[in-house]
Structure formats: C-alpha cells, structure tokens
Amino acid sequence: MAITRRQFLSRAGLATAGSFLGPGLLGNPFIRKALADTIGDRYFVVCNLNGGNDGLNTVTPISNGTSGGLRGAYEGARGTGSGGLRLPWTSLLSIGNDFHSQTPLGLHPGLGGLKNLYDLGKVAVIQNCGYPAPNLSHEESSRKWETGDPLGTGQGTGWLGRYLAANYVATDIPAVNIGGTVAGEFSTNATSILTFWSLGGFGFPYDYWEDIDDHDTAFSALYSSASAASLGIQSYIGNSGLAALEATRDYADLDGDYTTDRSTWDVQYGAYDTWLAYQLREVAKVIYGVEQNKVDARFFQVGIGGFDTHADQGGASGGHADLMSEIGNAMELFYNDCVDMGVADKLCIVLWSEFSRRIQQNANGTDHGSQGPMFVIGGTVDGGIYGNHANINSGALDDEGNTVYSQTATDHHRTTDMRDVYGTLLKHWLGMPDPLAVLPLDGGDPDDYWTVPNFDMGFLP
C-alpha cells in the first residue's frame, strides 16, 4: 500500500491531524518557537551504519507482552551456544514497552552509552523503519535511503542535498563529511560540501608550479574567472573552488584550537581509539569553530561499516557487540562534549542503516532483512519509543523470511516509513515549511488514506 500525501502530512506533523512523529519527536519549546527558513543556530549530524545493522539484536523483546509472542518468536529463531545469536533477556538494557503489544523492549547490552542518554530523555528509538518493496542489495537500498526516493521517481541527489540546494549557494559550505567523498544523502549540484579525513592534515591541494610565486593568489584568480563564466558547470566549478580555497584558510586553525582549548575532551576521544569516536571528534572541532565564529558549517556526516554480519555475528559478545559498544560509547562522549560546549540543545543526530537482518539466524550470522530501527539523539529530542515493533512471528514473514512493509491502519506492527522520519526532521528541526518540495511520495489513490489515523500512541509531549 502506497504512502499518500495525506498520510505523510499527518504522520510527519505537517497538518493539524494527530501526529505519528512530528512535533512529538522534537516537541521542546525551543523547537516550537518560530522557525527560520534554514537550520539557524543548530547542528544536524547524520550517522550511517553501513552494511545492514541487525535491528532485531539492537532493539530486542525482553519478554512476551500482553498480546502477541515477540519474545517467543525471537527465541525460536535465534539459538544459543556456539554460534548462537540470542541475547539473554537478563542482558538487555530495558527502555520500556512496545505500545500495542506491550512487549518489554531492551537495547543491546553493548549500547550502554546510548542507554545512559536514553535515560536522560535524549534518545528517540524509532522502530520498524523502512520503505515499500524493500530492496536487499546494499547499493540499491542505500541509494533509496540516501535519496529519500524509494520508488525511484528520478531523484539523483540526496534528500539533504536537495534541502541544501534550496537554502544555500555554491559559495557556501554548509556541510562537512568526514571521509574521502561526499555522502549520498548530501549529494547536490548547487552548493559546496567539504570532505576531509582529519582537520590536522587539511589543506588546499595546490599544484606547485615553479614559475608561480603566490599560489594562493593564482588559484583565486583562476577560480574567480571560472565563476564569472556563462556556462553553468564552469561557473559551479569556479564557485565551489573559491569556497574550497576559502575553507582551507578558515578551517586551518580549528584542530589546534580544539586540542588546546578542549584538551581533556580530545584525550577522551583518543582513549576510545575507534573510528566513530575519531570522526565525531572532527565534528566537535568544527562545531567548536562555529561557536568561535570562525566557520559556518551546520551539517555533518559520519559513519562506520562492518554490519554485513553473515557470519561470526555473535550475541552479547562478538563482532556485532563490538560495533554496538563503539556506537554507544562514541555517541555518549560526543553528546557530553556538546553539553560542555553549551550546544547540546542545538544538536540533533540521526542514525540509520540501509536495512536490518532476518529474524532467522543462519549458522552463526544473519542474512539481509527489511525494516530496522533508527535513532534520533539530541538535547531537545523527546526521548522514548516510537513506532511499532516488526511482526517477527513465523507466520507473518514473507517467502524470504523477512518482515513485511505495511501501511494498514489497523496493523499493530505497521511500518514507520523512513520518509515520515525525514519529513519530521526537515520540518521540525531544519525549518523547512514544505518538506514535500524535496521529498517525493509514492502518489497512489488520493482517497486511499486513513480517515481515523491510528496515532493514539502517546508520542506527543
């Protein structure tokens, strides 16, 4: 069943009807005040868990609820002993109950740092997120998530890239990606995205011709000439080149500023010695630079891989547990760093993975699945459990053993369409009056909507 405009407007809190996520997800009075046309004095961080995170061992039933048998289904599909993936209920970090089934839910024991933030009310756990007709190819599914265009209406840019294009120009640098390439969700042809592995080694890639004394002036003149050209692509290259050249000047001191002024925090990131902690430290350096009025970036992308756990996944210990610990520890440290900088209420982080894993384990791992959880973290996030747990009972799975995407109003396991989450973030955090300007929907029968939406889940504050 397609997600219609009427459903989207309701569930993302863009209409006056009951809201599925909407203002309830970001309902602090800080958010309710008049929004600027752009993000304003806030920060937005996207974190990709690449490879297909096993959401069923990330947010897991502790016991059966008052209806259904989710814990029983989980135990029946996942074994114990050598190669077993089952998480003992005693090891899970309790976060509350699934709304409809009243199934007690817990986070993976490796997510202790995230649980600490959850207990502070700073984490929204959004269950069962996906899109229609899920594709189990890493590349194809990632593209659907990155573009926000699961049915392929022809969007060649990222969902955030289109937002940036609507609000910034080529000479702006609103976003930073930690890594060697621009992340898919930030892909755009209208503004500049800065990418680097480390601020400590960041600089402009001059071609040092021997007959040029002042390379900075020479490259500035070269890009200025291209910027004034009548050809669009030439002008874009000139504008983005000027932005990159200016960025090397503006960003040059950020590493030293942070490591000197915030040495205690710098050491803590280093003590974890993980890739995600390393990336978030680079983000923290830039945020500190923004707060010192040295740079202007407000959007960031980080990510880690290793989630394609067909083998040696492990349960409460092992490969997946190590990844969970890396996420929990790094996110808690980064959030606390932002608290210390006084920017936690300006911060919103979203974590996503291209798909989850199947409930039935293979020998000692899991195969590609469908829907999985997302997390939204921040000082003004209304923490708690959102959405419905996927129906993992064997009789409810499709022919490949995957949970089913459902938009049926009366389905107590109804899927959270990822565009509901994107729309909520675009409207209620990024200040976009009409997210549908950049976020394509399926279309479908205009009369095919819920006259009595099933939104009585206590999501609103």
Residue 447 is classified by DSSP as T
Banded model confidence at residue 16, pLDDT cuts 50, 70, 90? very low
- Given a contact cutoff of 8 angstroms between Cβ atoms, the answer to whether 202 and 289 are in contact is no
**pLDDT at residue 223 above 60?**
yes
Please tell me the least confidently modeled range out of 94-103, 190-199, 281-290.
190-199
With a pLDDT cut of 70, the percent of the chain lying above it is 81
**Mean pLDDT (whole number) for 67-77:** 95
- Which candidate, 288, 334, 339, 299, places its Cα nearest to that of 426? 299
| 454: pLDDT strictly greater than 60 | no
The whole-angstrom separation of Cα 336 and Cα 221 is 43
Could you read off the pLDDT of 388-421 as tens digits, one per residue?
999 999 999 999 999 999 988 789 999 998 988 8
Characterise 52 by phi-psi region: left (phi > 0), alpha (psi -120 to 50), beta (else): left
Distance of CA 128 to the CA centre of its chain: 14
Q: How confident is the model at residue 234 (pLDDT cuts 50, 70, 90)?
A: confident
pLDDT at 169 over 60: yes
**Which of 357-393 are b and which e, b meaning 16 or more Cβ less than 10 Å from the residue's Cβ?**
bbbbbeebbbbbbbbbbbbbbbbbbbbbbbbbbbbbb
Mean pLDDT, residues 315-327: 98
Neighbours of 55 (CB within 10 A): 27
Question: What distance lies between CA 345 and its chain's CA centroid?
Answer: 18
A 10 A CB-CB count for 222 gives 14
What would the pLDDT profile of 432-442 be if each residue is shown by its tens digit? 888 888 888 77
Inter-residue contact 75 to 86 (CB < 8 Å): yes
pLDDT digits (tens, 9 = 90+) for 171-221: 788 999 999 899 999 999 888 888 999 998 876 665 555 544 555 666 667
Q: What is the pLDDT of residue 339?
A: 98
- For position 206, what pLDDT does the model report? 55
5-19, 135-149, 257-271, 348-362: which has the minimum mean pLDDT?
Answer: 5-19
The pLDDT-based confidence of 449 (bands split at 50, 70, 90) is very low
Q: Report CA Rg, the chain.
A: 23
Which residue shows structure tokens 């819920």?
450
Residue 397: CA atoms inside 13 Å, Cβ hemisphere, count? 17
Average of per-residue pLDDT across 226-231: 68
**CA–centroid distance for 66 within its chain:** 32
Residue 201: CB atoms within 10 A of its CB come to 8
Q: Are 215 and 206 in contact (CB under 8 A)?
A: yes
- Report how far residue 34's alpha carbon sits from residue 431's, in angstroms, rounded to the nearest whole number: 9
pLDDT at 37 over 60: no
Per-range mean pLDDT, top range of 25-29, 88-92, 245-249, 409-413? 88-92
| Kind and range of the H or E run holding 86 | none
d(CA 377, CA 111) in angstroms, rounded, equals 14
Q: Which helix (H) or strand (E) holds 398?
A: none
- DSSP 8-state class, residue 36: P
Average pLDDT over residues 245-256: 83
Lowest-confidence pick of 87-91, 234-238, 352-356: 234-238
Predicted local confidence at residue 31, as pLDDT = 35
Q: Which residue has the higher pLDDT, 208 or 63?
A: 63
Return the percentage of the chain with pLDDT > 90, whole number.
Answer: 62
CB 25 within 8 Å of CB 428: yes
Measured CA angle at 142 (ends 138, 148), to 5 deg: 155
User: Taking Cα atoms as reference points, which of 50, 118, 53, 89 lies closest to residue 356?
Assistant: 53
Q: Is residue 286 scored above 60 in pLDDT?
A: yes
**CA proximity to 173, closest of 139, 202, 206, 213:** 202
pLDDT confidence bin for 228, thresholds 50/70/90: confident
Name the nearest CA neighbour of 455 among 14, 9, 18.
18
Cα angle 206, 211, 212 (rounded to 5 degrees) comes to 45
Query: What is the per-residue burial (b if ≥16 Cβ within 10 Å, else e) of 113-151?
Result: bbbbbbeeebbbbbbbbbbbebbbebeebbbbbbbbbbe
Q: What would the pLDDT profile of 42-62 be if each residue is shown by its tens digit?
A: 999 999 999 999 999 999 999
Whether residue 71 is predicted with pLDDT greater than 80 in this model: the reply is yes
pLDDT of 402 reads 97
